């Protein structure tokens, strides 16, 4: 009896380890510097979205460049890097998942797939991925709700590096 319980537990252990590995640790943007080299989900409010002269897009958290606490970046030439509506992330609570690395002493994650970034809706607890990003802006004066939806149309199985225009 004890042997069969041991075998069952031993057989299920890899399933538990794999399930745990699928969900990265969730951290605040201000904590990113402590997780260099680790795969995490960084959450925080986007302060600014900028594009370099060469076309690389940066989603800055915790301060404007060069004083940001954390940044997500999308390489120049990527279809999404030149998308004008990236600026809609500004002021939103966003999560970016990936491995943190340092660039010029600042933590960042390279965004290669639209699945790595999500806009979190702090009011409802919901989220929208970058593939099908929707923003609802309510006007208290008129009671109207404006909805901008489907910002990007990239198939789910296409990594960002393959979605270059």
> For the chain, what is the domain count?
1
Report in angstroms the alpha-carbon separations of 94 from 25, 89, 91, 119.
15, 7, 9, 4
Residue 10 in domain? no
Confidence at residue 114, expressed as pLDDT on a 0 to 100 scale = 86
Query: Is residue 129 one of the residues assigned to a domain?
Result: yes
Q: What is the pLDDT of residue 161?
A: 42
φ, ψ for residue 60 (rounded to 5)?
Answer: -95, 135
Range of the domain at 52: 23-162
Nearest alpha-carbon partner for 96 in 117, 121, 78, 115: 117
- Please state, in angstroms and rounded to a whole number, the distance separating the CA atoms of residues 32 and 54: 26
Q: Within a domain: residue 96?
A: yes
Query: What are the 10-residue block averages of pLDDT along the chain, 165 residues in total?
Result: 61 56 90 98 96 93 96 92 82 97 97 91 57 39 30 42 38
pTM value surpassing 0.85: no
Task: Tell whether 104 is covered by a domain.
Answer: yes
Rounded-to-integer distance, Cα 104 and Cα 124, Å = 36
40 falls within a domain: yes
The domain spanning residue 49 has which CATH number? 2.40.50.140
């Amino acid at each position: 009896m004890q042997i069969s319980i041991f075998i069952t537990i031993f057989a299920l252990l890899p399933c538990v380890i794999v399930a745990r590995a699928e969900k990265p640790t969730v951290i605040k943007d201000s904590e990113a510097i402590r997780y260099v080299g680790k795969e995490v989900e960084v959450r925080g409010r986007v302060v600014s979205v900028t594009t370099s002269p060469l076309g690389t897009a940066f989603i800055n958290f915790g301060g404007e460049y060069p004083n940001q606490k954390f940044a997500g970046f999308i390489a120049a030439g990527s279809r999404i890097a030149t998308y004008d509506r990236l600026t809609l992330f500004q002021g939103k609570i966003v999560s970016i998942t990936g491995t943190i690395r340092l660039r010029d002493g600042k933590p960042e994650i390279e965004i290669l797939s639209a699945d790595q970034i999500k806009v979190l809706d702090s009011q409802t607890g919901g989220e929208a991925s970058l593939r099908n990003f929707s923003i609802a802006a309510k006007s208290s004066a008129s009671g109207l709700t404006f909805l901008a939806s489907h910002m990007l149309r990239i198939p789910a199985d296409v990594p960002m590096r393959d979605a270059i225009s």
